[in-house]
Structure 1
Amino acid sequence: MRLDPFYLIVDSAAWIERLAPLGVRLVQLRIKTLDEAGLRAEIRKAKALCARHHCQLIVNDHWRLAIEEGCDFAHLGQEDLQTADLAQMRAAGIRLGLSTHDHADLETAMVANPDYVALGPVYPTILKKMKWAPQGLERISEWKRRVAPIPLVAIGGLNPKRLDGVFAAGADSAAVVTDITLNGDPEARTREWIEKTGQWR
């Protein structure tokens, strides 16, 4: 499986509506604070928007809703992985991405036979409080050797200036949240990411 090198992560369908028309091909919907009805509505809207703009939608955490809403990709953290029914996900045709932060995480992830592995944070990140130190580029290379041929996603503190190093180290895709969503001009920043990652597309 091949992932687009530009992996956008947003917390609402409104962001997808705003940015997908610019040429985003891979987006994760990561919502932490809605009830089930709200989540379902957001997933449904996001799925329709992604279909319209030929964009791959990945649902974060909520794998049961992803199955029920006919999505084809879910991303799980290590805690969610412990409680997820992987057999049910596979039976529904759901592809699986998994977060990893250390060697124990990676071993756990590989047992689950994921469709991609994410490593983070590569650089310091403001998105959430992390108990892990920044991984750095050497860790990307190590992870790629261990997971190949499974795609490797780098996440954490990334911006367009850091992409050359991330891809040279072995990442297949670079995930971004705050560098776009907290930017003064998210559309212009998205275009910059799309242009910059185009050389690895």
Structure 2
Amino acid sequence: MSIPRFYPIFDSADWIERLVPRGIKLVQLRIKDADTSQIRAEIRRAKKVCAAHDCTLVVNDYWQIAIEEGCDFIHLGQEDLDTADVPAIRRAGLRLGLSTHDRAELDRALALTPDYIALGPVYPTILKKMKWHAQGLERLSKWKTRIGDCPLVAIGGMTIDRAAGAFEAGADCVSAVTDITLNENPEARVDQWLAACEAKG
């Protein structure tokens, strides 16, 4: 199994409408603190854009709505996993990505045979407060040795300059958030990311 090498994460359909047309082939919609109707509307908008541009949409957390809206891919964090009905997700035919931060979480994730495993934060991140310190490239290599053919996503503090090291350490894919959304020219930054990741392909 394989996934694209560049995997941005956005918190709204607005970002997806703005940037997916530039050539993004895998994108996550991660929305926090919104009601069900808002979430559903955002997923529908994002799904429409992704379908028009041959991009795979990954929905973070809201697996019931993702199933109801006919989505293809769900991402779950460890807390999400506590309450998610993984057999229902699989019966609906959704692919599954999982976050991991330590060995126990990795073992838990591998037992579910996910379609990718994410390790983070590889570098310090300003996106959210986490109890884990930066994992570093050495742990990426250890994770890749452990998970074998399962795609490994590097996330957390990732920039284009840091992406090369992540790929060399064993990551199959690099995920970026604030390096794009806080950039003064997000469109140009996405173009740079796509070029850099294709060069490593």
Residue in 2 that maps onto 1:8: 8
Q: Which amino acid letter does the alignment assign opposite residue 42 of structure 1?
A: E
Residue in 1 that maps onto 2:46: 46
| TM-superposition CA deviations, 1:132-174 (whole Å, max 9, x none) | 0100000000000111110000000110111111000000000
State the shift of 1:198 in Å. Answer: 0.5
Q: Where in structure 2 are the equivalents of 1:115-154 lying within 5 Å?
A: 115-154=115-154
State the shift of 1:111 in Å. Answer: 1.2
Cα separation, 2, equivalents of 1:46 and 1:200: 28
TM-score if structure 1 supplies the norm length?
A: 0.99
| TM-superposition CA deviations, 1:80-132 (whole Å, max 9, x none) | 11111111111100110000001111011111111100000000000000110
Q: SS of the counterpart of 2:117?
A: strand
Q: SS of the counterpart of 1:2?
A: coil
State the shift of 1:199 in Å. Answer: 1.9
Q: Which amino acid letter does the alignment assign opposite residue 119 of structure 1?
A: L
- Confirm or deny that 1:180 pairs with 2:195: no
Q: Where in structure 2 are the equivalents of 1:97-112 lying within 5 Å?
A: 97-112=97-112
| TM-superposition CA deviations, 1:29-54 (whole Å, max 9, x none) | 00002100010000011000000011
Cα separation, 2, equivalents of 1:130 and 1:85: 25
State the shift of 1:200 in Å. Answer: 3.1
Residue in 2 that maps onto 1:29: 29
Q: Which sections of structure 1, spanning at least 5 residues, go unmatched? A: none
TM-score if structure 2 supplies the norm length?
A: 0.99
Q: Percent identity?
A: 61
Q: Where in structure 2 are the equivalents of 1:15-94 lying within 5 Å?
A: 15-94=15-94
Q: SS of the counterpart of 1:58?
A: strand
Cα separation, 2, equivalents of 1:195 and 1:160: 10
Q: SS of the counterpart of 2:33?
A: coil
Cα separation, 2, equivalents of 1:194 and 1:44: 25
Q: Which sections of structure 2, spanning at least 5 residues, go unmatched? A: none
Cα separation, 2, equivalents of 1:52 and 1:13: 14
Cα separation, 2, equivalents of 1:56 and 1:170: 23
Q: What is the RMSD of the two structures over their aligned residues, measured on CA atoms?
A: 0.7
Cα separation, 2, equivalents of 1:161 and 1:3: 21
For these two proteins, the number of residue pairs brought into alignment is 201
Cα separation, 1, equivalents of 2:6 and 2:85: 29
Cα separation, 2, equivalents of 1:145 and 1:82: 26
